[in-house]
Amino acid sequence: MVIGPKKSGFVLLVVLVVLAIAATVLAATARRCGSRAMAAGEMAREIQLRWGTISLKNLCLNSAGSLLNSTTADDGPARRIGKSLDLGGVRFQLVIADEGAKANVNLLAAQKTIGDLEPALMDLQADCRRVLPVVLRPVAPAGGRISALPMRYISLSQVLGFKHPAELIDPQSQEPSASDRLTCWGNGLVNFKTAPRQILRAVAGEVLSEGYIEKLRKLVAQKPTCSLAEAIKHLELNDDRAKKVRDLLTDRSSCFSLWVIADDGSRTWHRLYVRSSADTRNDREDWTFQW
Amino acid sequence: MTLIELMAALAIAAAVSAGALAVTAGLGRSGRAGAADQTRYELGDGLHRLLEAELAHAERYRKTPGGFQLQGHWALEGPSARIAHLPATVTYELKPSAGRKWLVRTQQVENLPPRSDLVAAGVESIELRTKAEGRPVVDREGWRAVSSEAAVVVRMDTGTQEVFDFRLR
């Protein structure tokens, strides 16, 4: 009887095949786990961003007036407050601003021709960190809204040429940005106690000369709580001029804005919320702008 | 090697081959399911982001046959669909073509030519639900104010359904 060589390669082959299958299954499982972990991380960031933004909006926008009044600048209540904080790994930068301290584009559009409006808006940005080109895109005012001022401009996209919202606002900079000077929201009246000189000049320059504006600012510095009636009396304006001033200026702001800039280290989100309170001439308005 | 050993080896080989085939088939199914899940997730995520931004900027809405219209201040501009806050009327509607329904977004900004973008393929229906439905109609054209909460229900022709809930104000 002849005994041939022993054939044991079959077992090795089977073991190798089984190992290859096991490795493939493990690799596929690891890949799926990895992608799901990444998606979960992304969702966690998204939730943090949403809740952070909602919380800050509810906290700051509802009490913007009192927050600004409690922070006193050199010449009266602050026009803008900037804060930053970290929530769950996302850095939030906030800018709370008084829209009544800015020149309302709709008011200027009602006062001026479109040819005069463009240089006026450029002048208002003269001291800004970055002067943005004026690109006017007015629309017919929408119906169904009570507004003393025709709302031909409802966003800064209709007024300024910019590619990124960071061009509109810089929470770190001490220099003003375009959105610190211009607004599209609110009743159009400028708060003479919080508005800077160039805003008063741009809005009420045809009624109040430079001397009157200087006198007004001195009065506010001496008595930050003075009313518009007291200011008109102090300026000794005649009835006609006093009426025009009452149509342009106010002593209380009713429109505030909140910029929320969130940064998670890899991406930055910009949100702008504006709330305008209702009064005898205007509906309450809430505006949201996301980029 | 005896006949019994040979039979045993063949049986083991058959069992291992069957197992290998089952695992490979399972991997294929899992891969296809994973890809379908991924596609569904991406479509849902994209739709969610688009509709959220659309509704956050919307002031009024009205229902249309097979879709809805929004009036607000959010528009897309240029080939890269850059965001611009311009007053716009946006229509979401289904358009049938090649045996499927396609979800199309059409925006009208003032006097500019309308812009249409394909949003998703294979959408059976889309419906906007808001709490404002109990409120009075704003005007004769059927526009209503958008309320603080809204939901968009999207049914796909594969039988799946996505419900997107939004808190807007």
Q: B interface mutation test: which of A1, A6, A157 has the most B CBs within 10 A?
A: A157
Per the structure block, which two tokens stand in for A205? 């320059």
Give a yes or no: residue A74 inside a domain: yes
pLDDT bin (cut points 50, 70, 90) of residue B11 is confident
Sign of torsion over alpha carbons A67, A72, A77, A83: negative
Measured between CB atoms, which of A17, A163, A286 is closest to B169? Answer: A286
A197 domain residue, yes or no = yes
Tally C-beta pairs within 8 A across A and B: 67
Q: How does residue B157 score in pLDDT terms, banded at 50, 70 and 90?
A: confident
Residue of chain A whose alpha carbon sits nearest to that of B143: A144
Nearest chain B residue to A5 by CA distance is B1
Residue A66: is its pLDDT beyond 70? yes
As a whole number of angstroms, the distance between CA A112 and CA A105 comes to 10
Question: Chain A residues with CB inside 8 Å of B86's CB?
Answer: 137, 139, 155, 157-158
Give the CB-side neighbour count of residue A274, counting CA atoms within 13 A. Answer: 23
Return the pLDDT at A15: 78
Neighboring chain B residues of A140 at a CB cutoff of 8 Å: 110
How far away is chain B from the Cα of A157, in angstroms, using its nearest Cα? 6
Report whether A216 contacts A208 (CB < 8 A).
yes
Quote the pLDDT of residue A289. 93
The residue range of the domain holding A114 is: 49-290
A14 lies in some domain? no
Question: Does A291 contact B110 at a Cβ distance shorter than 8 Å?
Answer: no
Confidence of residue A134 (pLDDT cuts 50, 70, 90): very high
**Is the ipTM, as predicted for this complex, more than 0.85?**
no
How does pLDDT run across A193-250, given as a tens digit for each residue? 888 888 898 888 888 888 899 898 888 888 888 889 998 888 888 888 889 889 899 9
CA distances A15 to A24, A27, A168, B10, B77, Å, are 14, 18, 66, 15, 60
Binning pLDDT at 50, 70 and 90, where does residue B2 land? confident
User: What is the structure's pLDDT at A72?
Assistant: 57
* pLDDT tens-digit map of A32-42: 899 889 888 88
Subunit contact B139:A144, Cβ cutoff 8 A: yes
Q: Which residue of A has its CA nearest to B167?
A: A54
If interface means Cβ-Cβ distance under 8 Å, which residues of chain A face chain B? 7, 10, 14, 17-18, 21, 24-25, 28, 32, 35, 39, 54, 137, 139-140, 142-144, 154-158, 163, 286-291
Are B115 and B90 in contact by the 8 Å Cβ rule? The answer is: no
**pLDDT at site A176:** 86
Rounded distance, CA A276 to CA A258, Å?
12
Q: How does residue A82 score in pLDDT terms, banded at 50, 70 and 90?
A: confident
Q: Do A155 and B31 touch (CB under 8 A)?
A: no
| Average pLDDT of chain B, as a whole number | 83
Interface contact flag, B169 A10, Cβ < 8 Å: no
Nearest to A24 among B27, B53, B169 (CB): B27
Contact check, Cβ <8 Å, A144/B60:
yes
Tell me the chain A residues in contact with residue B73 when contact means C-beta distances shorter than 8 Å. 154-155, 287, 289
Which residues of chain B are at the A interface, by a Cβ-Cβ cutoff of 8 Å?
1, 9, 12-13, 16, 19-20, 23-24, 27, 30-31, 34, 38, 41, 53, 56-57, 59-60, 71, 73-74, 82-87, 110, 138-139, 143, 167-169
- Tell me if A155 and B86 make a contact (CB, 8 A cut-off): yes
Count the domains in chain A: 1
The model's confidence at residue B166, banded by pLDDT at 50, 70 and 90, is confident
**Inter-chain contact A25–B27, Cβ cutoff 8 Å?**
yes
A255 in a domain, yes or no? yes
A219 in a structural domain: yes
| Contact flag B57-A24 (C-beta cutoff 8 Å) | no
- Do the Cβ atoms of A61 and A275 come closer than 8 Å? yes
The mean pLDDT value of chain A amounts to: 85
Q: Rounded to an integer, what distance in angstroms lies between the CA atom of residue B132 and that of residue B89?
A: 19
With a CB cutoff of 8 Å and minimum separation 6, the contacts of A17 are B16, B20
Task: Point out the least confidently predicted range of A87-91, A164-168, B86-90.
Answer: A87-91
How many other C-beta atoms are found inside a 10 Å radius of the C-beta of residue B28?
A: 10
Per-residue model confidence (pLDDT) at position B69: 94
- Residue from the list A32, A157, A290 with its beta carbon closest to the beta carbon of B53: A290
Three-class SS of residue A204?
A: helix
Domain assignment present for residue A16? The answer is: no
Residues of A in contact with B168 (CB under 8 A): 288
Between A25, A154, A288, which is nearest B56 by CB? A288
Q: How far is CA B140 from CA B136, B143, B145, in A?
A: 11, 8, 13
pLDDT at B138: 60
Closest A-chain CA to B145 = A144
B160 vs B169, residue with greater confidence = B160
For residue A251, tell me if it sits in a domain: yes
Reported pTM = 0.79
Question: Which secondary-structure segment (H or E) carries B34?
Answer: helix B3-56
Q: Specify which residues A288 forms β-bridges with.
A: A273
Q: Positive or negative, the Cα torsion across A247, A253, A254, A260?
A: positive
- Specify if A28 maps to a domain: no
